[in-house]
């Protein structure tokens, strides 16, 4: 696959991605953590790469978010979802969902989101998720008692690259190998031609050693699993709590992890522990054994009358003969007992096996002496034997464990990824529950032939183009979600939206934008029912803060000039454009924009307080909807939040004048009311 054909992937990123084990599959998987393992590719870039891969898959060059405010709404939508994740992974992964104008992309994302909303966001699962993170590669462990050897320069280079844990040595002949065998406990020769050589030491000829790293450097697997223990245990717990099918055998995984220490060494093997302790305690145990023997002898001597014959006494004095000979003769039995006790102590204290006990016997020889003396060379032999036993056992256990872990290595990648992906799904599920969402119906927009100008095209759903939402409630309002009043609104074509102050006009535009953006991301939307055309672009303009100076005004007019050019398939939402300049000019400008848009397949809502003036300035019959006040209650307006179609809502001042006129029975207020 040509990675550079992914939108946004240049030569440099492509090169980095090629370092991944399976570049094409990884990029396509959307697994942002896996993509971010490419050197120099951070998470933000990984998200862009994953999105680029989605775009390429769907041949989707759409740029739905056409204005700053539209992009803000997307950020808000994303935040609502991201707030409901547990893991960083899921936060990043959610960013791969973008509002698209591609039918197949929206359908794909909808399938994912629909399955996600069926998930149960059980607190136990969320709790377990808190420990899950993408698997990490621990730093390379250096193994110093083993080396690789080869006579071939190419093999040498390959070995260095593939097995950085071991030294790679160059050998020319068997003599060189023998030399290495004296410095390393194990030598692995990579060249076939050395097969059958007769060299002393632990030397193996294994031409496949580079292809079987689990055997060659079991330490690598052990270090990987040790470093990722917490994440793996958490991922296993997530699968159990969520009752998910696990990609790896969880019992086997737990068993393997229980045999592994955090530093990558083996634990839980009684024999290895015995041998390790025996080596460590050998010196202390021999000293204690000496004391045991000495104590016994001291006691025995103290209680004994020893008669020395004159000749013996003479030889003691004259020839410097040792008292040991006396000991031997006089206390032979006691000495034997003392030695036996010393040996027994050694065997007991070190928990020695029978063949080791034979070696231990020799630590205390039969030559009597007082105090008792160990045979250093026997101690050293025993130590060598025990250490060799320990190392052999450790190596075998490591190899066994590595074989078990080798079988788990790939499945655990899936295990962790599935747990992390579950977090993505649960965030969507929680979003859908928290805001009573529904899956919207995103329709193919009718082409010009199907929607002839000026005629209503009643589609098979009974609704013309544009959008129709029922019971929409925006989670972005400044009131508690429970207090948000549902809004129904359907728009086909170009509309002016009038309404009382603070009636909810801006909030309605926000709701429409949010619903459309979420819908085209493939996500559920906060409403009871929603149908919409698939929009090519969303142009949302927020209310400008005050009148613009000449330069900014010109720039804004240019924006709208561009907007009305080829506006087919666009959703245009504009909030109080009149605030950019003085009201008379504003009404004319808005009327002109509406005219231009009404000739096209555009869905537009312009919020304005100048609906009447705009209508007068326009040379076609501008459709006006209104958010109307139901009345004034205790000085506060009660409004119906759902815009009424074809209704110019009265303004707040008009409503207040009307109330005064009613209260006072006409008069000045009655005359004033006439003017509206």
Ligand X SMILES: Nc1ncnc2c1ncn2[C@@H]1O[C@H](COP(=O)(O)OP(=O)(O)OP(=O)(O)O)[C@@H](O)[C@H]1O
Determine the interface stretch with ligand X among 99-107, 132-140, 410-418, 498-506 (rule: CB under 6 A).
Answer: 498-506
Cβ closest to ligand X, residue 155 vs residue 574 = 574
What tokens does 418 get? Answer: 């599935």
How far does Cα 478 stand from its chain's mean position? 32
Does 507 contact ligand X by CB under 6 A?
Answer: yes
Determine the interface stretch with ligand X among 122-130, 368-376, 497-505, 643-651 (rule: CB under 6 A).
Answer: 497-505
Least distance from C-beta 506 to ligand X, angstroms?
Answer: 3
- 244 secondary structure, DSSP code: P
Binding mask 583-622 for ligand X (x = CB under 6 A): ----------------------------------------
Alpha-carbon distance of 273 to 279, in angstroms, equals 10
H-only helix segments in 527-610:
550-564, 583-598
Determine the interface stretch with ligand X among 91-99, 121-129, 230-238, 482-490 (rule: CB under 6 A).
Answer: 482-490
Binding ligand X (rule: CB under 6 A), the pick from 52, 389, 503, 626 is 503
Q: Is 506 marked as a binding-site residue?
A: yes
Least distance from C-beta 39 to ligand X, angstroms?
Answer: 48
Does 638 contact ligand X by CB under 6 A?
Answer: no
Listed residue (366, 319, 360) closest to 339, CA to CA:
366
Q: Site for ligand X (CB under 6 A): how many residues? A: 15
Q: Is 499 marked as a binding-site residue?
A: yes
H or E stretch at 393:
helix 376-434
Binding ligand X (rule: CB under 6 A), the pick from 45, 105, 505, 615 is 505
3-state secondary structure of 2: coil
Cβ closest to ligand X, residue 495 vs residue 641 = 641
Binding ligand X (rule: CB under 6 A), the pick from 38, 135, 171, 487 is 487
Give the number of other Cβ atoms within 10 Å of residue 107's Cβ: 13
Does 506 contact ligand X by CB under 6 A?
Answer: yes
Determine the interface stretch with ligand X among 53-61, 117-125, 397-405, 475-483 (rule: CB under 6 A).
Answer: 475-483
Binding ligand X (rule: CB under 6 A), the pick from 180, 257, 484, 491 is 484
Binding mask 420-439 for ligand X (x = CB under 6 A): --------------------
Does 390 contact ligand X by CB under 6 A?
Answer: no
Least distance from C-beta 515 to ligand X, angstroms?
Answer: 13
Determine the interface stretch with ligand X among 207-215, 372-380, 504-512, 616-624 (rule: CB under 6 A).
Answer: 504-512
Alpha-carbon distance of 243 to 231, in angstroms, equals 18
Helix, strand, coil % in the chain, rounded to nearest 5: 55, 10, 35
Does 56 contact ligand X by CB under 6 A?
Answer: no
Does 477 contact ligand X by CB under 6 A?
Answer: yes
Alpha-carbon distance of 365 to 374, in angstroms, equals 8
Does 504 contact ligand X by CB under 6 A?
Answer: yes
Determine the interface stretch with ligand X among 225-233, 473-481, 533-541, 655-663 (rule: CB under 6 A).
Answer: 473-481
Does 501 contact ligand X by CB under 6 A?
Answer: yes
Give the number of other Cβ atoms within 10 Å of residue 113's Cβ: 24
Least distance from C-beta 484 to ligand X, angstroms?
Answer: 4
Alpha-carbon distance of 453 to 601, in angstroms, equals 8
Alpha-carbon distance of 432 to 612, in angstroms, equals 40
Give the number of other Cβ atoms within 10 Å of residue 102's Cβ: 20
Instruction: Check if the beta carbon of residue 85 is closer than 8 Å to that of residue 427.
Output: yes
Start-to-end CA distance of the chain, whole Å, equals 68
Beta bridge partners of 33: none
Q: Kindly identify the residues of this chain, within the stretch 215-244, that bind ligand X according to CB under 6 A.
A: none
| CA atoms within 13 Å, Cβ hemisphere of 637 | 19
- 547 secondary structure, DSSP code: P
H-only helix segments in 163-269:
174-183, 213-216, 218-227, 229-242, 250-258
Binding ligand X (rule: CB under 6 A), the pick from 121, 264, 440, 499 is 499
Q: Is 502 marked as a binding-site residue?
A: yes
Cβ closest to ligand X, residue 390 vs residue 505 = 505
Alpha-carbon distance of 484 to 474, in angstroms, equals 7
Binding footprint of ligand X on the chain (CB under 6 A) = 477-479, 484-485, 487, 499, 501-507, 641
Binding residues: 499-506
């Amino acid at each position: 696959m040509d990675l550079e054909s992914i939108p946004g992937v240049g030569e440099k990123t492509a090169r980095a991605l090629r370092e991944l084990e399976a570049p094409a599959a990884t990029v396509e998987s959307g697994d942002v953590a896996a993509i971010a393992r490419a050197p120099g590719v951070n998470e933000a870039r990984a998200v862009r790469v994953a999105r680029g891969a989605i775009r390429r898959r769907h041949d989707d060059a759409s740029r739905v978010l056409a204005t700053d405010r539209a992009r803000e709404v997307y950020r808000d939508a994303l935040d609502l979802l991201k707030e409901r994740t547990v893991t960083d992974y899921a936060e990043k992964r959610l960013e791969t969902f973008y509002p698209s104008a591609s039918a197949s992309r929206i359908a794909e994302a909808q399938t994912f989101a629909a399955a996600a909303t069926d998930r149960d966001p059980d607190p136990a699962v969320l709790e377990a998720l808190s420990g899950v993170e993408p698997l990490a590669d621990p730093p390379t462990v250096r193994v110093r008692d083993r080396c690789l050897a080869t006579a071939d320069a190419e093999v040498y280079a390959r070995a260095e690259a593939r097995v950085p844990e071991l030294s790679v040595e160059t050998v020319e002949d068997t003599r060189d190998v023998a030399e290495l065998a004296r410095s390393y406990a194990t030598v692995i020769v990579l060249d076939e031609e050395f097969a059958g050589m007769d060299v002393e030491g632990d030397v193996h000829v294994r031409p496949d050693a580079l292809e079987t790293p689990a055997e060659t450097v079991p330490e690598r697997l052990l270090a990987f699993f040790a470093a990722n223990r917490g994440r793996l245990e958490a991922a296993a717990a997530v699968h159990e709590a969520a009752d998910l099918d696990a990609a790896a055998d969880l019992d086997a995984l737990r068993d393997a992890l229980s045999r592994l220490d955090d530093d990558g060494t083996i634990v839980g093997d009684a024999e290895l522990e015995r041998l390790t302790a025996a080596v460590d305690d050998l010196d202390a145990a021999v000293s204690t054994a000496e004391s045991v023997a000495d104590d016994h002898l001291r006691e025995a001597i103290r209680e004994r009358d020893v008669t020395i014959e004159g000749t013996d006494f003479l030889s003691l004095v004259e020839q410097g003969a040792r008292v040991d000979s006396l000991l031997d003769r006089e206390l032979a039995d006691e000495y034997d007992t003392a030695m036996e006790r010393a040996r027994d102590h050694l065997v007991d204290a070190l928990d020695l096996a029978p063949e080791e006990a034979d070696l231990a016997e020799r630590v205390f020889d039969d030559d009597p002496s007082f105090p008792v003396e160990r045979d250093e060379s026997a101690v050293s032999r025993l130590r060598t034997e025990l250490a060799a036993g320990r190392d052999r056992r450790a190596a075998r256990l490591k190899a066994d464990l590595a074989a078990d872990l080798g079988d788990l290595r790939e499945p655990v990648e899936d295990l962790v990824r599935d747990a992390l992906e579950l977090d993505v799904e649960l965030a969507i599920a929680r979003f859908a529950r928290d805001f009573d969402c529904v899956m919207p119906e995103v329709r193919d927009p009718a082409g010009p032939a199907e929607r002839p100008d000026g005629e209503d095209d009643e589609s098979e759903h009974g609704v013309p183009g544009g959008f129709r939402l029922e019971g929409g409630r925006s989670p972005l309002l400044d009131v508690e979600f429970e207090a948000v009043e549902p809004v129904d609104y359907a728009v086909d074509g170009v509309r002016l939206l009038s309404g009382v102050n603070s009636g909810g006009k801006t909030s309605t535009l926000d709701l429409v934008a949010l619903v459309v953006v979420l819908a085209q991301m493939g996500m559920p939307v906060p409403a009871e029912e929603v149908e919409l055309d698939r929009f090519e672009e969303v142009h949302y303009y927020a209310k400008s803060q005050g009148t613009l100076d000449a330069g900014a005004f010109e720039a804004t007019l240019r924006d709208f000039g561009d907007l009305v050019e080829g506006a087919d398939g666009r959703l245009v939402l504009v909030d109080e454009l009149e605030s950019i300049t003085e009201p008379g000019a504003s009404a004319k400008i808005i009327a002109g924009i509406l005219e231009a848009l009404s000739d096209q397949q555009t869905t537009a809502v312009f919020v304005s307080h100048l609906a009447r003036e705009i209508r007068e300035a326009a040379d076609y019959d501008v459709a006006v909807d209104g958010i109307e006040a139901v009345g004034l209650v205790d000085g506060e307006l009660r409004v119906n939040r759902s815009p009424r179609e074809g209704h110019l809502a009265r303004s707040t001042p008009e409503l207040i004048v009307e109330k005064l006129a009613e209260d006072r029975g006409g008069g000045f207020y009655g005359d004033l009311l006439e003017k509206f």
